[in-house]
Structure 1
Amino acid sequence: MSNIIFMQQTPTQQTPTQKVITSNQSVSKTVYPILFTVSFSHLVNDMLQSVIPSVYPLLKTSYGLSFTQIGLITLTYQLMASILQPFVGSFTDKKPTPFSLPVGMLFSLGGMIALAMASDFGTILLAVSVVGIGSSIFHPESSRVAYLASGGRRGLAQSIFQIGGNAGSAIGPLVVALLIIPNGQSAILWFVLIALVGVIALLKVGTWYRAHLIVRSKKQQAVSEIAPTLSPSRIRWSIIILLVLIFSKYFYMASMTSYFTFFMIDKFNVSVQQSQIYLFGFLAAVAAGTFFGGPLGDRFGRKYIIWFSILGTSPFALFLPHANLFWTAVLAIVIGFILASAFSAILVYAQELLPGKVGMISGLFFGFAFGMGGLGSAVLGTVADHTSINFVFSLCAYLPLIGILTYFLPNVKKPKQ
């Protein structure tokens, strides 16, 4: 990626494109203010998303929903969030659209209003669809902003970006437990104010993005920087393996985000609010663990972090369905922390496999992750209706073993010394 050099300000007027020049060198500095702003926006976006599964116990009681219907709600949202993302990313690879970011947040804002006012299963599905569309617009371009502001430290940049999203996912259930569960469905409208803050932050990011777009072909610059030597067939198989690993991670994550509260209520007879706090513990661990995957991948190599994150989760996942209340809480935190490091490493690894296609890769992997999460929630909800929640967690415990496939991934970049 080319170097961005800020020109000294003069009394004469300058256009945004005159304020930046490019060269064949790597970006010398990481633009932390932009990374933290886009990370905050990711926090807001994913906090709004996390409201959906967090209010499942309330919606299930209010509308008499089955676990299958709960799964269909997640499937609807996740499909809307996943199907559009690769197309959005591919389009913005050719024509970056900086101010699509606040537009995406406005869709999520509208979805929150619709969810607060929903009166039946159909309107609930419509509301979560709108939130899904907002997510599909937000992720590819915001991930590209993290790439542009990385200063060459792409793993670190993706981790900063991801930790915002995971922090939002963790905070959402806690806010729901404290604000929405006691006051009812209409209290979801408070999240509209949070969405407005996100819109303002993304307007600032969009302004920076527009002023600092690199005009040259990103594909040519990325190839000169990374110079991959893998054959097209090896790249294709590597992408397939990465997508299978995403499947294992997000199917397991679906069991936790959509059904962990029900598991805790069913097995340990805790209250709805207490179950939300246990879910917060898991999601907070996910947020904390997210930070380490990217920078450690920069230092030691992505492949080793993927090994540790996916396969390393398996012993704890296998033990969780058989543990008591205390150890269930502890194991959920350990699992969340370890599993969280995978996505940043996988995403940057894929970007290095296909340099110059940052938007398409971001859209594909974010979209596939959401799709697998939605499909997993729907499938596991049906399984829970026909068996039990405990059986679902016993079954999902084997998913991290798929991490063994990491062995077949090539080393696309040497770790930093």
Structure 2
Amino acid sequence: MKRGQVAFLTGTHVVNDLYQGAVPALLPFLMSERGYSYSAVAGITLAATGLSSLTQPIFGMIVDRRQRNWLIPAGFLVAAAGIACAAMSSGYLLTWVCVAIAGIGISAYHPPATNAARAAGGPSQFAMSAFSVGGTVGASLAPPLVTLVVGGLGLSGGYLLAVPAIVVGLLWTLQKPWYRYRGYVMAAPIAATAEQRRGHDDWPAFGRLVLVTVCWSVPYVITMSMASPFLIHTLGSSKSVAALTLSLFTVAGAVGTLVGGALADRYGRRIAIRAGYLMAPPALLVLTLAQSTVWAALAIALVGLAMFLPFAPQVTLAQDYLPTRPGSASGVTLGLAMSVGGLASPLFGILADHVGPRGAIATAAAVLVVSTIAAFTLRDRVPPATVSEHERELLVAAER
């Protein structure tokens, strides 16, 4: 693992996802200063998340055809420009277009950056975990940054939001990226044929992994959207306590991502993936049965920890399943498959209106059971050039 490269790429991930988190952080200011309705800000959210999710696989296919590391700085610089212009623009249509451009920049960043992080991290799953947590950190820094800048100067001061991207962009130029991603050698299990070792794409296995990811994204989005209303309206918690509990979910997810990477390095990816999916559904059920804020907060923290244990191993496993299309693999698993949760959220909202948030969260737990079952059908794949004797023994034991 090239620690310096992983650290620098993690820093770029912090900056890129800072602008992803800036969209929801800007919405209250857009509503108060420009009088946008709930439906208007929902359209702005869709412009950012919808286009980002749909275009990410396209950028994945682009980087699979030819190395394009310049998309990494271009992605977060375009995202910064889009967010800054959206804050300063006048008129809803122009704001919508600027946010959509920011979403496209965010999606352009992820496939090449994920490939580069994998190349820099080598066989280490913890390296991918650290890179993934960079995105979580960036999203969590967005609300205080937006509040500091826009809350102090108004939307007209939105140009200052671009400063982090400009600084990291200059650092990128000075570094003149010291690595080149040349298609990190990924191949099939140890018992595979020589032809498979040269780059055999396992589409059935990748399809099962996409199913796992899709059924993961639904309860993740539902937990994020239902946790606060459940705490406030069902358990009688204050808004500040609900917000703090939601932050606890994010922090627990970051911890789970790092723990999952370390667990995968030591015991293999399937152990980390299975452990997460075995823990998550019971934790969600505990949340639905909680009668106090304390128990609900503990359950939410456990859900965040469990659901993110498999996160980094799933990303690298997707790339190993499609060794000739690593960009497409990360684009689908991180982009298109993840968007399903957002598309399903209105249905769960209707369900919550009829049966309450407990029923909606319990239904999401049932969806997560599908992920658990599918996760136990996944087989490991490792690049033979990077397999240590310890990893080889672990893989052979796992296949047995």
The answer to whether TM tops 0.5 is yes
Paired letter, 2:20:
Q
Per the alignment, residue 347 of structure 1 pairs with 315
Paired letter, 1:63:
Y
Per the alignment, residue 178 of structure 2 pairs with 208
* DSSP-derived class of the 2:376 partner: helix
Per the alignment, residue 222 of structure 1 pairs with 186
Cα distance per residue 1:52-75 (max 9 Å; x no partner): 334556667753315xx6665444
Cα distance per residue 1:204-235 (max 9 Å; x no partner): 565223xx454xxx48x534997745899993
Per the alignment, residue 331 of structure 2 pairs with 363
Provide the rounded CA distance (Å) in 2 between the counterparts of 1:249 and 1:265: 25
How far apart are residue 110 of structure 1 and its match?
2.0
How far apart are residue 255 of structure 1 and its match?
2.1
Mean CA deviation greater in 188-197 or 52-61: 52-61
Conserved? CA contact 2:16–2:106, under 8 Å:
yes
Provide the rounded CA distance (Å) in 2 between the counterparts of 1:131 and 1:378: 24
Conserved? CA contact 1:287–1:340, under 8 Å:
yes
Per the alignment, residue 136 of structure 1 pairs with 107
Seen in structure 2, the aligned counterparts of structure 1 residues 47 and 274 have a Cα distance that, compared at 3 Å, is farther
Q: 2:163 aligns with which of 193, 209, 212?
A: 193
Cα distance per residue 1:266-313 (max 9 Å; x no partner): 445656555433322211111121112223223212222111112321
Per the alignment, residue 374 of structure 1 pairs with 342
Higher relative contact order structure (alpha carbons within 8 Å, sequence separation ≥ 6): 1
Q: Tell whether 2:288 aligns with 1:318.
A: no
Conserved? CA contact 2:187–2:200, under 8 Å:
no
Conserved? CA contact 1:167–1:283, under 8 Å:
no
Seen in structure 2, the aligned counterparts of structure 1 residues 122 and 282 have a Cα distance that, compared at 3 Å, is farther
Paired letter, 1:65:
Y
Q: Tell whether 2:4 aligns with 1:33.
A: yes
Per the alignment, residue 278 of structure 1 pairs with 245
Which residues of structure 2 form unaligned runs of 5+?
383-390, 395-400
Q: 2:38 aligns with which of 58, 65, 78?
A: 65
Count of matched residue positions in the alignment of Structure 1 and Structure 2: 379
Q: Trace 1:114-153 onto structure 2 (pairs within 5 A).
A: 114-117=85-88, 122=93, 125-150=96-121, 152-153=122-123
Mean CA deviation greater in 333-342 or 69-78: 69-78
Per the alignment, residue 24 of structure 2 pairs with 53
Per the alignment, residue 74 of structure 2 pairs with 103
* DSSP-derived class of the 1:97 partner: coil
Q: Tell whether 2:307 aligns with 1:334.
A: no
Cα distance per residue 1:333-389 (max 9 Å; x no partner): 211112112221111112222223222212222222442243244544555567755
Q: 1:163 aligns with which of 125, 133, 142?
A: 133
Provide the rounded CA distance (Å) in 2 between the counterparts of 1:393 and 1:119: 39
Provide the rounded CA distance (Å) in 1 between the counterparts of 2:308 and 2:181: 30
Conserved? CA contact 1:159–1:294, under 8 Å:
yes
Give TM-score scaled by structure 2 length. 0.81
Mean CA deviation greater in 45-54 or 176-185: 176-185
How far apart are residue 33 of structure 1 and its match?
0.9
Provide the rounded CA distance (Å) in 2 between the counterparts of 1:161 and 1:183: 33
Which residues of structure 1 form unaligned runs of 5+?
1-29
Q: Tell whether 2:265 aligns with 1:301.
A: no
Give aligned-pair identity as a percent. Answer: 27
How far apart are residue 130 of structure 1 and its match?
1.9
Q: Tell whether 2:220 aligns with 1:249.
A: no
Cα distance per residue 1:150-181 (max 9 Å; x no partner): 2x324122112111112223333455577767
* DSSP-derived class of the 1:294 partner: helix
Paired letter, 2:178:
W
How far apart are residue 260 of structure 1 and its match?
3.6
Paired letter, 2:249:
F
Q: 1:396 aligns with which of 361, 364, 373?
A: 364
Paired letter, 1:360:
S
Provide the rounded CA distance (Å) in 1 between the counterparts of 2:139 and 2:26: 13
Provide the rounded CA distance (Å) in 1 between the counterparts of 2:172 and 2:350: 38
Seen in structure 2, the aligned counterparts of structure 1 residues 205 and 390 have a Cα distance that, compared at 3 Å, is farther
Conserved? CA contact 1:99–1:206, under 8 Å:
no
Paired letter, 1:196:
I
Q: CA RMSD in A?
A: 3.5
Seen in structure 2, the aligned counterparts of structure 1 residues 404 and 370 have a Cα distance that, compared at 3 Å, is closer
* DSSP-derived class of the 1:63 partner: coil
Give TM-score scaled by structure 1 length. 0.78
How far apart are residue 254 of structure 1 and its match?
1.5
Seen in structure 2, the aligned counterparts of structure 1 residues 367 and 224 have a Cα distance that, compared at 3 Å, is closer
